[in-house]
Amino acid sequence: MLRTHYSNQISPDMDGETVTVAGWVYELRDFGGVKFIILRDRQGYIQIVIPRKRVSEDVLETFGKLTKESVVSVSGTVKKSDKAKAGFEILPEKIEVLNLAETPLPMDVSGKIESEMDTRLDNRFIDLRQDKVRAIFMLRDLFLTGIRNFMKENQFVEINTPKIAAAGAEGGASLFPVQYFDQWAFLTQSPQLYKQMLMASSLDKVFEIGPAFRAEPSDTSRHLSEFTSFDFEMAYISDYNDVMDLAENMLVETLKYVKKNGKPWLEILERDIEIPKTPFPRIKFEDAKGMLESDGRRVGNDLSTEDEKALGKIMAEKGHIAYFITDYPEEEKPFYIMENDENPGYSFAIDLDYYGEELASGGQREHRYNRLVSRMKKKNLDPKNFEFYLKAFKYGMPPHGGVGLGFERMVMKALNLKNIREVVLFPRDQWRLVP
Ligand code: ATP
Ligand code: MG
């Protein structure tokens, strides 16, 4: 290997030991008699000290050729030093240039000059060399681990469903068509139909973390045409409260996991993660509407983005950053949501809102074949196109429910970032297909 140690694996008490470190040239400082290279690797920074009289001609010559962001491997001796930030520096015996970077760089890496979002995304590989950007993706990784740990501790099975399918679950307008041999298919908007079909199998608690595609022409800071959906579905629920219990615990436990394990990255970002107060309030749609109307707003049959924001403010004043809105008018919710027969016109749909924005949607599903078919018809969908799905409801389908949660929205909101593009490596939107 071209390195024996990452920067964080070296300490002052290793004084005198020989190590090989590798990374990018972050800074070059030349004071004549003594020169410095600040080397950056995945874990941090290392100071390489080059006193003219104590290093070889080769080392001095190589220093003269170096450009910022070049890739080097440095072998040398660890020297304890009170002047160096890390408490040690490295006196090089050999500097090997592995790859020389061109100048000028397409963007600043030090974080001192702020670049436009487009410039950053066009040069994402360099953008990711910035501490704050790297921190976001290290934290994102922890969010994934946190979710997986929690779901597995609760006996959920991780699944992967197809992303190319014949029918869309969430309505036709936002489908991306793909040429599939001699017919048309679509990129899936969510794993909805597949995770539900599995409720009729022996895998009666499942979750998936995977891509979802929506042809969203809207230009917002929280929509992308490809996002990561975290979905779960669970059978044998008593009612939608079981689904809310699971979603609530998942969010709280995941946030706790990231807060505990992501300290160094959160420090770099200068962020703390707030753990939402439990239990999350469960507010019926009509009550939410009432709260908003007594606040002077006029609310329709669904909550607009502005309504959600306003409700977020009201709830924050009561000390709640996360809460459920339940019992939406059935008309506004997809065919697979169960209607509430005791309260006609309403459904067992739930949304989870977080900092005044929708984070997840779900509820109890309609598991009774005849009712499901009539709901489809009510929504002007042709049951013939859904035969593969409906079949699973004919031979033993238990009551079930679940949610679909926007994973990037969760990361973005938890870290108080303003744009969903901050938490996606190579975002896809109406205007962006490369890189
Ligand atoms: P919104 O009203 O915010 O556009 P939605 O109700 O259309 O969302 P759902 O079908 O309920 O979305 O999808 C479940 C979750 O997936 C949403 O709550 C949201 O967090 C996330 N999500 C939906 N569409 C997108 C998108 N285009 N980009 C990123 N995340 C999305
Ligand atoms: Mg929704």
Q: Is 361 in the pocket of ligand 1 (CB under 6 A)?
A: yes
Return the residue whose CA atom lies nearest to atom 8 of ligand 1.
Answer: 358
In whole angstroms, give the CA distance from residue 18 to residue 121: 39
- From 175, 220, 409, 420, the mutation candidate for ligand 1 (largest count of ligand atoms within 8 A of CB) is 409
What's the gap in Å between 231 CA and the centre of ligand 2?
13
Return the residue whose CA atom lies nearest to atom 22 of ligand 1.
Answer: 406
At residue 171, the pLDDT reads 64
Catalytic choice (222, 320, 367, 400)? 222
Which atom of ligand 1 lies at the shortest distance from residue 403's CA? 14
Q: Is 423 in the pocket of ligand 1 (CB under 6 A)?
A: no
Residue 358 bears catalytic tag: yes
Closest CA to 402 of 164, 230, 210, 282: 230
Ligand nearest the Cα of residue 352 is 1
Strands (E), 87-225: 88-99, 157-158, 164-165, 176-180, 183-187, 205-213
At residue 216, the pLDDT reads 85
Angle CA(228)–CA(230)–CA(231) in degrees, nearest 5? Answer: 135
Q: Is 354 in the pocket of ligand 1 (CB under 6 A)?
A: no
In whole angstroms, give the CA distance from residue 144 to residue 414: 13
In whole angstroms, give the CA distance from residue 67 to residue 234: 56
What's the gap in Å between 145 CA and the centre of ligand 2?
24
Q: Which residues, given as ranges, of the chain have pLDDT below 70?
A: 168-172
Residue 226 bears catalytic tag: no
pLDDT tens-digit map of 40-79: 999 999 999 999 999 999 999 999 999 999 999 999 999 9
What's the gap in Å between 69 CA and the centre of ligand 2?
43
Residues, Cβ < 5 Å to ion ligand 2: 361
CB 362 within 8 A of CB 371: no
Catalytic choice (229, 271, 361, 375)? 361
Two tokens, residue 237: 């629920």
Return the residue whose CA atom lies nearest to atom 6 of ligand 1.
Answer: 361
Q: Is 126 in the pocket of ligand 1 (CB under 6 A)?
A: no
DSSP summary character for residue 130: S
Which atom of ligand 1 lies at the shortest distance from residue 229's CA? 16
Q: Is 357 in the pocket of ligand 1 (CB under 6 A)?
A: no
At residue 172, the pLDDT reads 64
At residue 170, the pLDDT reads 64
What's the gap in Å between 132 CA and the centre of ligand 2?
31
DSSP 213-281: E-------SS--SEEEEEEEEEES-SSHHHHHHHHHHHHHHHHHHHHHH-HHHHHHHT--PPPPPSSPP
CB 41 within 8 A of CB 23: yes
Q: Is 287 in the pocket of ligand 1 (CB under 6 A)?
A: no
Ligand nearest the Cα of residue 328 is 2
pLDDT tens-digit map of 313-345: 999 999 999 999 999 999 999 999 999 999 999
In whole angstroms, give the CA distance from residue 176 to residue 131: 36
Q: Is 360 in the pocket of ligand 1 (CB under 6 A)?
A: yes
Catalytic choice (81, 332, 358, 371)? 358
pLDDT tens-digit map of 99-122: 999 999 999 998 788 899 999 999
Residue 223 bears catalytic tag: yes
Which atom of ligand 1 lies at the shortest distance from residue 223's CA? 28
DSSP summary character for residue 299: -
In whole angstroms, give the CA distance from residue 233 to residue 204: 8
Residue 361 bears catalytic tag: yes
- From 227, 305, 355, 407, the mutation candidate for ligand 1 (largest count of ligand atoms within 8 A of CB) is 227
Helix/strand number for the chain, H first, E second: 12, 16
